[in-house]
Amino acid sequence: RDSQQADTEHLSRWEKWRRTSSKSLKKALSDVKGLLSYLVLWRHDIHKIEGKFGTGIQSYFSFLRFLVLMNFIIFILMFSFVILPIIISNYGIFNSTIASRPKNIEDNCTIYEPNGNKGLVYFYTYLQDLLSGTGFLEVTCLFYGYYTIDAVWVSIMRYNFPLAYLLTTFAYLALSFAWIIKRSVEGFKQNLVHDADPFQSYCNKVFAGWDFCITDPNAAHLKHRSLEYELKTDLHEEKQKRKIAQRTMKKKLCIYSLRIFINIIVIAILSGCFYSIYRVTVFSQENSNVSIRNDTRTDLVKAVQYLPSIVITLANFIGPLIFSFLIRFEDYTPAFEIKLTLMRCVFVRLANIGVLLFSLWSQISDCGADKCKPCGYNYKLYPCWESDVGQEMYKLMIFDFIVILAVALFIHFPRKLLVTYCSCKLVKCFGQQEFVISDNVLEIIYGQTICWIGTFFSPLLPAIATIKYFIIFYIKKIVLIHTCKPAARPIRASSSNFFFLLVLLIGLLLAFIPVGVGIARIPSSKACGPFRNFNTSWEVIPDTILQFPTLLQQILFGMASEAFAVPFLVILCIIMFYFIALARAHKRVVEQLREQLV
């Protein structure tokens, strides 16, 4: 400090002022950052969970917080560019034009009469509509069919609503992708540091694990517990590795044979789930849609429309229970056990959504006996097919939340009461439950995939997802604290966080497929929505480009041609190979530094 003061004596007044200002600004920014950390959602709750149940379970609640924030941002996007223009036009604040009926299209294609409730309506009818998205909800801004405007005029400026709708869809998918990749890279760095050397990981915890900024006794206790869990996890993993190394050839053969047999059972369960969903979806669509359109619904028909959601919910509930039971016999490490169970359960859940959408697409595009010759899609069953897809996604979202709430109320809490107050041997055999991370992560990844797919068809779905995950946080927190015990086999947070995001990324990439097919391949409904003037939703892009100046048109169409794509791909490959070579060089340097540290 003395040498710094001596140096500053020879500086000009301007240079002294600049250095002082820079220091003051840094201090102010540091203080603001410290204050903002207190505004982080559920900060105190998550720290308490970390101290009591370890970093593995804390990573689940941090992941849930991330999804709440992401869905809220997606909702802000959809509200600003899609929902708000409709509200403004409805109140007559700005002038707007309705998307005109397409020319050269038969009148049958343009008939869409949502089944809104008329006359005296019973309360249970509103409840049914709330669960299924039909009736009064079908004619609200919740679904695609409500958005019929073509443009909003602000003075002489024209707001192209169909273009805004499509670009906002691309924006929320791109934002989700970039955000997940950013968080995944951070998790990957932590994984690399941990997986490098167990001895180094141990030294880091013992000599550099303590946070010397902690002054509160409660915070110190939580940090103690967190470090204890991390050390337990390290020891348990080393024990498992030693056990695996000591296996005889006979033992290995037995384990591998058992694993093959269990995987055959898993494939059989998956096949049964997919076939059931496909048959139920086809049956439900054929029997319920015609009755709804003709307003001839009976109680049986009303029940039929819920069949796909009920079967998918049952498959999602029973499948993971069977997989969690079977994996106990496969003798994997705790970390790999979670990953494999999660991958199996993710596959069954995401594939269930895929089978449902495939069944819907096959029904929408079913052109047998010239059903879709006039319009390009099955207009008799689906006059506004986008709203129908939105309703299916809405039903899955609502049923998923109902199941999570019901499991907490009717399974977790009664089990806790039985274990606490009943001394029966059967009850003691089951014991107090553990918080199964794989199942809980799977629930929220499944719900998020539904949200990504459904937002194009139901713009308010991100708002529903935000509220749903906000409530789920408190449900899971209460269940964890009051009914669960700490895991017998601790789980590491660094590997968990990275793996959760990796599975979430798989869900997002799978969501791209149905949304892309709906936008680019299936003809848009001619009776509803902002794209009824276009053959497909994608056509709004080239149609808008054709309104640009000729030079800009040539540049954009040139960028979309093979002449631009091939050189661009070659340059990308060269850049990728350069970074791979750079990473290998860095890896060698890191290995040398590790040797020097040892």
pLDDT, tens digit only, all 598 positions of the chain: 777 777 777 777 777 788 888 888 888 888 887 777 777 788 888 888 877 776 778 888 888 999 999 999 999 999 999 888 888 887 777 777 776 666 667 777 777 776 655 555 566 677 777 777 777 788 788 888 888 888 887 777 888 888 899 999 999 999 999 999 888 877 666 655 555 556 667 777 788 878 776 777 776 777 787 788 778 877 877 888 888 888 888 888 888 888 888 889 888 888 888 888 888 877 777 676 555 555 555 555 566 777 777 888 788 778 878 887 888 787 777 767 777 877 787 778 778 888 878 878 777 776 665 666 667 777 777 788 888 888 888 988 988 898 889 888 888 888 888 887 777 777 666 667 777 777 788 888 888 999 999 999 999 999 999 999 999 999 999 988 888 776 555 555 555 667 778 888 888 988 898 898 888 888 888 888 888 888 888 888 888 888 888 888 888 888 777 778 888 889 999 999 998 899 889 888 888 887 887 7
Beta strands in 387-541 (DSSP E): 433-434, 484-485
In a domain, 139, yes or no: no
* Structure-token match 């049986």, residue found: 300
Q: How confident is the model at residue 10, as a pLDDT?
A: 72
**For position 196, what pLDDT does the model report?**
52
User: Same domain for 62 and 185?
Assistant: yes
Domain shared by 417 and 528, yes or no: yes
**Per the domain annotation, does 382 fall within a domain?**
yes
Q: Count of domains in the chain?
A: 2
In a domain, 87, yes or no: yes
Distances (CA, A) of 214 to 50, 217, 220: 15, 8, 6
> Are residues 569 and 544 located together in one domain of the fold?
no
DSSP one-letter code for 160: E
On whether both 508 and 568 belong to a single domain, the answer is no
- Is residue 195 located within the same domain as residue 268? yes
Residue 76 falls inside a structural domain? yes
Give the tokens for residue 273.
């789930």
The answer to the question of residue 106 being in a domain is yes
| 528 shares a domain with 457 | yes
Output the pLDDT for position 105. Answer: 72
pLDDT on residue 68? 93
Give domain status of residue 240, yes or no: yes
Tell whether 439 and 568 lie within a shared domain: no
Amino acid at 333: T
Is 572 found in the same domain as 510? Answer: no
Q: Does 180 map to a domain?
A: yes
Residue 473 has what pLDDT?
A: 92
Q: Are residues 506 and 581 in the same domain?
A: no
Where in the sequence is the domain holding 592, given as residue range(s)?
A: 561-597
Residue 124 falls within a domain, yes or no?
no
State whether 344 and 449 are in the same domain.
Answer: yes
Per-residue pLDDT, 455: 92
In whole angstroms, give the CA distance from residue 281 to residue 304.
10
Q: Are residues 528 and 568 located together in one domain of the fold?
A: no
Q: Name all contacts of 202-208 with Cβ < 8 Å and 24+ positions apart.
A: 202/231, 202/234, 205/230, 205/231, 205/234
The answer to pTM > 0.85 is: no
Whether 482 contacts 415, CB under 8 Å: no
The upper half-sphere exposure of residue 205, i.e. CA atoms within 13 Å in the direction of its Cβ, equals 19
Q: 410-445 burial, b for 16+ CB within 10 Å, e for fewer?
A: eebeebbeebeeeeeeeeeeeeeeebbbbbbbbbbb
Note the pLDDT of residue 171: 93
DSSP state for residue 101 in the 8-state scheme: P
Are 567 and 432 in the same domain? Answer: no
**Count of C-beta atoms within a 10 Å radius of residue 73:** 16
344 in Cβ contact with 350 (< 8 Å)? no
Residue 314 structure tokens? 């049952």
Residue 363's identity, in one-letter code, is Q
